[in-house]
Structure 1
């Protein structure tokens, strides 16, 4: 049994990202307590969980209980898989209904009694306690360091464009497509989505109508070590003319701005044509993850083209931009 803590800024999107990866791994989510997920999965899921963008950490779930007393009793009855020294760290979630103030000391004493030694500064093993409606204790296996994503934010890239998705969200969009081999971004801009997909080992394909974006995206991909890519100068509404193949997955973040930034075309009409074009090159059963401003009914337009809605997630970016992230299946 595993546990996983998702991030709280887009919780439904984060949960569905986990679900998509577990579907590839053969696992499933069997419980949720605020941002804490219980997973029916084992070590075979690790390569898929390691792909996550909207996650804080995951680990092995050791005990869970309805009270502090029950947790401590159960903790005495299990063999803790501690390697080296350990430390107990508590995560008090917004829905925590237990007094966990002294729990690290109490649980630490239980584990210490099994012969393990405490190291509060540099432990070899971190025991994580989560407090929500219930209380849980487990061994952290993977922490998703925010610095890994921060260093790929727009202002750190050699080709800089200020309008770009956060790398965590780009990663989540890739994962929501359930891509295993390849991914196409037909409106790639500076290549942020392609960077995340490429770092996951996928072959990436990109299209943009502006030559400077094609050149800049290549600079960014090479800078971050992505080597297996194919970028083309072209029109996202005419993808079947650019490629003589279909694609396993598509993820993209179309421009939201004025007609000048949309190659002189009306925004909503461009979105409709792009959806039609993507549908024409996506494999049957393949997924599309895409963002649209909130005043465009992406679900209705996608269904008109022939897509099946899988997920929709709202985000307010600032007072002048609200958007939905959509996942569709062909």
Structure 2
């Protein structure tokens, strides 16, 4: 059994991102306790779990208990897969029902009695205890360092545009499509979604109607070592003309929300409707589109008119003048 600790800013989206990756890996979510997911999967899932954007960490789940006494008793019977030294670290979630103040010391003593050495400053193995409705203990296998994602935020890129999704969210949109080979962003802007997809080893296709964006996106992709890409200057409402005969495995995009300049002088809602039709035309059957729309646009109704089926919908308030939904649609 494994565990994933998801992030709390978009928890439903984070859970569904994990679910999408587990479906590719042949695993499943076996239970949830606040931001803690119990995962029924083996090490074959690691390459897919390593793709996660909206996760804090994942690891091996070894103990689940209803009380501190039960956790300590079960811990005595566990064959702890500790390499080198260890440290016990407690995560007290918002729904924690147990007094875990002294638990790291008590659990550390149980594990130490099995012959393992403690190192509180630089342990080789981190034993993680989560407190929610229940108590869970395991070994951390992968920590998703925020600095890695922060290094790809808009102001760190060679081609800089301030309006851009956070790299973690871009990564999640890619993963929610369940793409394994390739992805298209038909309104790519500076290429943030394509960067995250390219770093996952996918071939990336991008389109933008503005020449400076096509040049800038290429600059950003190359800066982060991505070479397997195809970028085109063109109109997102005419994708079948841009890619004749091509059907894509997945599409993810964050369309511009605002001014007539960013919308190439067209009415926003009309543009969105035509883009949805255009994407539907180039998407493989059974494949997914992940897309963001401002809350004032009924993305669900318009996509269903085109023929899409809703798979997921996630609300985000960015600031007082911008509320949006992230949608995941499937082409039946």
Measured against the shorter chain, the TM-score band is over 0.9
Kindly tell me the number of residue pairs found equivalent between the two proteins: 330
Aligned to 1:286: 287
Give CA-to-partner distance per residue, 1:276-311, whole Å, 9 cap, x none.
000000000110000000010000000000000000
Unpaired runs of 5+ residues, structure 2, are none
Deviation at 1:259, TM superposition (A): 1.7
**1:132 matched to 2:132:** yes
Residue 161 of structure 2: SS of its match in structure 1?
coil
CA distance in 1, matches of 2:74, 2:261: 64
Question: In the TM superposition, what whole-angstrom CA distance separates every residue of 1:128-160 from its partner, at most 9, and x where no partner exists?
Answer: 000000000000000000000000000000000
Shift of 1:226: 0.4
- In structure 2, how many angstroms separate the alpha carbons of the residues matched to 1:77 and 1:286? 46
Q: Deviations over 1:214-252 (max 9, x none)?
A: 000000000000000000000000000000211000000
Equivalent residue, structure 2, for 1:215: 215
User: Does the residue aligned with 1:261 lie in a helix, a strand or coil?
Assistant: coil
Secondary structure of 2:315's partner? strand
For residue 114 of structure 2, what is the aligned residue in structure 1? 114
Separation in 2, partners of 1:110, 1:193: 46
1:16 and 2:34 aligned: no
In structure 2, what is the equivalent of residue 264 of structure 1? 265
Indicate the residue corresponding to 2:312 in structure 1. 311
Partner of 2:262, secondary structure, is helix
Q: 1:243 is matched with which residue?
A: 243
2:183 is matched with which residue?
183
Matches within 5 A, 1:190-205: 190-205=190-205
For residues 152 and 259 of structure 2, what CA distance do their matches in structure 1 show? Answer: 27
Query: What residue in structure 2 maps to residue 7 of structure 1?
Result: 7
**Aligned-pair RMSD on alpha carbons?**
0.4
Query: 1:69-84 to 2 correspondence within 5 Å?
Result: 69-84=69-84
The residue that corresponds to 1:94 in the other structure is 94
Task: Give the ranges of 4+ consecutive aligned residues of structure 1 lying more than 6 Å apart after TM superposition.
Answer: none
Q: C-alpha distance in 1, partners of 2:2/2:196?
A: 25
CA offsets 1:71-97 (integer angstroms, 9 cap, x no match): 000000111111000000000000001
Deviation at 1:124, TM superposition (A): 0.5
Task: Please state how far the C-alpha of 1:258 moved relative to its aligned partner.
Answer: 1.5
Q: CA offsets, 1:196-218, max 9 Å, x none? A: 00000000000000000000000
1:63 and 2:63 are equivalent in the alignment: yes
TM superposition score normalised by structure 2: 0.99
Give, in whole Å, the separation in 2 of the partners of 1:52 and 1:230: 24
For 1:325 and 1:250, the matched residues in 2 are separated by 13
- Give distance in 2, aligned partners of 1:77 and 1:251: 47
Q: Corresponding residue for 2:157?
A: 157
Distance 1:16 1:254 in 2: 22
Q: Distance in 1 between matches of 2:313 and 2:9?
A: 15
Deviation for aligned residue 1:260: 2.2
